Structure 1
Amino acid sequence: MSTQYAPRVQAPTEERNPRTTEIDLVPTIELLRMLNAEDHKVPEAVAAVLPQLARVVDEAAARLGAGGRMHYFGAGTSGRLAVMDAAELIPTYGLEPGVILAHHAGGRAALETPVENSEDDPEDGAREAAVVTGADVAVGLTASGRTPYVGGALRTARAAGAFTVLVSANPQAELAQWADVHLAADTGPEAVAGSTRLKAGTAQKLILNTLSTALMVLLGRTYSNLMVEMSASNAKLRGRLLTILTEATGEPTDVCAAALAAADGQVKTALVALLADVPPLHARDALAAADGRVRPAIVALGAAGQAVGEVSA
């Protein structure tokens, strides 16, 4: 079988970078400075799409808060970054498995061994997106903005009524037509032409970090800037839970350890119990009534205590 070659319009990431044409001639330290100078352009490119990203975060928070899910679709570097982001939310924020899902072209095998031709199949993307519903969010990640696998997934998700998002490094991405929001981090030509594991991949990583972290904050899985839904699956993390509790309350370690034990290891329950000065059972009930959010639970307990005091008076 012969391979067919045909010219196509270059994506910005595929263009030749005039700043790095001598990358193979310069001393090592200069080579590193070239790469580093290109990397410095990424945060500004991400900052430019923050207003659009805010819309995505708010929509995702509303949909996940109502029982929906968020799906990532990507191939190659984009897909691997998506898998990593989804996986890390489970231990970091105690997120239930299956709430945020990553779909990678080529399946699990492609995570370690590249299956690059898998990204050319829009039908594969459509099949993967068959599980998406109108209650969900679908995020397609492709540096070029034209990966067929991602296109098939976004078209199917949009037809199902999902809120669709495209993350690319191409402001003129052809797949933007299937997205409610296009997050186009314009990182420009790569230091090595077409190597999107560089700036474009870094931009996607930053966007995913920002999206999922902001989403966890809006869903009440932090108190201040502390991770109060973290899964304590080993000794290090159990120690970190105790540190979080002491930092949040200002109480001595022994008091926090006792509160954590009384709360069956649930740091949110222990936190509310200490800050509102109530038994763990009352703290747990207040959290349930506040959809798991610490601050509203404390406010409600304070208001209830004040009401009891007024009645007694």
Structure 2
Amino acid sequence: MTFIKTTEQQSQYEHLETMSVSTLLFNINKEDKTVPLAVERALPAIEKLVHVIVSKMKLGGRLFYIGAGTSGRLGILDASECPPTFGVPSDLVIGIIAGGDSAIRKAVENAEDDSTQAWLDLEKYAINKNDVVIGIAASGTTPYVIGGLEKCNENNITTGSIACNESSPLSMVAQFPIEIVVGAEFLTASSRMKAGTAQKLVLNMITTATMIQLGKVKGNKMVDMQLSNSKLVDRAVKMIMDEIPLNYQQASELLEKKGSVRRVIDFYNK
């Protein structure tokens, strides 16, 4: 199949600068509505990757994201939200961006063009065959990401990918490729828009489904979440009240004593 960068195709909308704000917003939203449908078409591929991640994590493995620009930032965002949401160690899901941490806020010129650096970045974490590495690139052509997955394959490390073009070079390299083909962007080639939204949805799915499979959720509650501020403590107290016939004060005191929603529920149900 011929590789066509649909993420680079011309927008279906012309003369954006002449549109009113209401028209701009309406049309952006119209395009955004197509993203969940594109994700839905990729659910079988996402499921395969989640099963692999779960099996590897049960062996002590970790999940790595590698990406450049928007894709790299989205990986870091998803990774950084796993410890507070699921109470897992900060080194269970790790996001790596081309150009290093300074690239999270400011673009690092040409960092994405280095096909050897991703492997060097991964080696800093003593990456091994129990780990899974997912390369994220809307275009599916980023050398940093492709080069990283190629080295992972050479070293018997499981690889996945998230791209927004069909039959991309990245998908050809990954063992478990995911393609979310969202088509041309409202603003031509601005892949931070639909493509970025698609990537964010898939990342949410991957880590949430994985953590549920690993037992980090009870019912529909984040019972292992970190109690790092008053809002989360209040949420935790109300979770306990939903599960156990206690008033707010009782639940709050028990939470303070036990330190997590899970430990309170387990203690009460002994």
Greater length-normalized contact order (CA 8 Å, ≥ 6 residues apart)? 2
Please, which of 197, 201, 205 is the counterpart of residue 200 of structure 2? Answer: 205
- Tell me the TM-score normalised to structure 2 length: 0.94
Check the 8 A contact 1:76/1:116 in 2, yes or no. Answer: no
Quote the Cα distance in structure 2 between the aligned partners of 1:247 and 1:212: 25
Counterpart residue number, 2:45: 52
Check the 8 A contact 1:16/1:189 in 2, yes or no. Answer: yes
Q: CA deviation at 1:114?
A: 0.6
Please state if 1:174 is matched with 2:181: no
- For residues 191 and 231 of structure 1, do their structure 2 counterparts lie closer, same or farther at Cα, with a shift above 3 Å needed? same
Q: Secondary structure at the match of 1:232?
A: coil
Q: CA deviation at 1:74?
A: 0.3
Q: CA deviation at 1:77?
A: 0.2
Q: CA deviation at 1:258?
A: 4.3
Report the AA paired with residue 217 of structure 1.
I
Aligned residues: 266
Quote the Cα distance in structure 2 between the aligned partners of 1:49 and 1:221: 25
Check the 8 A contact 2:146/2:169 in 1, yes or no. Answer: no
Over the matched positions of the two proteins, sequence identity in percent amounts to 33
Q: Secondary structure at the match of 1:122?
A: coil
Check the 8 A contact 1:14/1:194 in 2, yes or no. Answer: yes
Q: Secondary structure at the match of 1:241?
A: helix
Counterpart residue number, 2:146: 151
Q: CA deviation at 1:170?
A: 0.7
Question: Which protein is bigger by CA-based radius of gyration?
Answer: 1
Report the AA paired with residue 28 of structure 1.
V
Please, which of 235, 253, 261 is the counterpart of residue 267 of structure 1? Answer: 261
- Tell me the TM-score normalised to structure 1 length: 0.81
Check the 8 A contact 1:122/1:148 in 2, yes or no. Answer: yes
Quote the Cα distance in structure 2 between the aligned partners of 1:55 and 1:98: 23
Quote the Cα distance in structure 1 between the aligned partners of 2:60 and 2:101: 26
Please state if 1:231 is matched with 2:251: no
Check the 8 A contact 1:132/1:160 in 2, yes or no. Answer: no
Counterpart residue number, 2:211: 216
Please state if 1:105 is matched with 2:92: no
1:65-104 alignment to 2 at 5 Å? 65-104=58-97
Q: Cα RMSD (Å) of the superposition?
A: 1.5
Counterpart residue number, 2:10: 16
Counterpart residue number, 1:27: 20
Q: Deviations over 1:101-132 (max 9, x none)?
A: 11100001111111141000001122123332
Q: Deviations over 1:267-303 (max 9, x none)?
A: 21210222x2x2xxxxxxxxxxxxxxxxxxxxxxxxx
Q: CA deviation at 1:157?
A: 1.4
Q: Secondary structure at the match of 2:36?
A: helix
The structure with more helix, counted as a fraction of residues:
1
Q: CA deviation at 1:10?
A: 5.5
Q: CA deviation at 1:32?
A: 1.5
Quote the Cα distance in structure 2 between the aligned partners of 1:28 and 1:186: 27
Counterpart residue number, 1:37: 30
Question: Unaligned 5+ residue runs, structure 1?
Answer: 1-8, 279-313
Counterpart residue number, 1:288: none
Question: Unaligned 5+ residue runs, structure 2?
Answer: none
